[in-house]
Amino acid sequence: MGLQPVIEWRNSTHATEIITQDFGVIDADTKSSPFTFNIWNNRYDATKGTGKVDVAKMEDCTITTRDMTGGTGDTVGNVVEVVKNSWFHAQVDTLNETDLDQDSSKIGKIASKPIGTTGSTTKNWDGTVYPTPFKPGAKEILGVANNGTPLDAAGNYVTVTLQCAVPLDASSGKQSFKIRVSYRYV
């Protein structure tokens, strides 16, 4: 059994960690601006001491939205339309998807979307370069030690673009929700 995954959400250029994201005000019958981010497993960061040793890979990875209690947005007294009615769309850029405007990209109450990458990671640590890059399987994010460079560690992260499509009949007001990545590890 390996060490548990070390997950970090980064912006589209991998430069900054994302702790929270405000999608702003989105009027009914409009779409938000697309928001692209990266989900890393075991990104090398000397200041945090991560990425120097292998950790468990993330398996059966999916992304969806949930209300702040982890529910599906339809609890009486706590209806969260953005989750309940699957307003968000997710496109997995590291799988070369182009379906952001399609129903196949909807996530929410009853829909989650598999995430993964076609990238690979070249393990290069302590002067040892492994000749064969490590490649994740479907719906996996590697946890191998890496140098933190996106080009060299492309098997250790996924890139996802989200966009919210608010319907004309949406209720007004602020909706708090979570973007959730589910996975298992051994």
The token pair at 51 is 């990425």
> Binning pLDDT at 50, 70 and 90, where does residue 127 land?
low
Question: What is the spatial distance between Cα 116 and Cα 164, in angstroms, rounded to a whole number?
Answer: 21
Across the chain, how many H-helices and E-strands are there? 1, 13
Q: Are 26 and 166 in contact (CB under 8 A)?
A: yes
Checking if the pLDDT of 2 tops 70, the result is: no
**pLDDT band for position 1 (cuts 50, 70, 90):** very low
The predicted pLDDT at position 41 comes to 98
Backbone angles phi, psi at 83, to 5 degrees: -85, -50
Find the mean pLDDT for residues 166-177: 93
Give the pLDDT score at 125: 63
Q: Give the pLDDT score at 132.
A: 86
pLDDT digits (tens, 9 = 90+) for 62-95: 999 999 999 999 999 889 999 999 999 999 999 9
What is the value of pTM for the model shown?
0.94
CB 33 within 8 A of CB 162: no
Mean pLDDT computed over every residue of the chain? 94
What are the residue ranges spanned by the domains of the chain? 7-184
Q: pLDDT tens digit string along 11-28? A: 999 999 999 999 999 999
- The stretch 58-64 carries a mean pLDDT of 98
Whether residue 97 is predicted with pLDDT greater than 70 in this model: the reply is yes
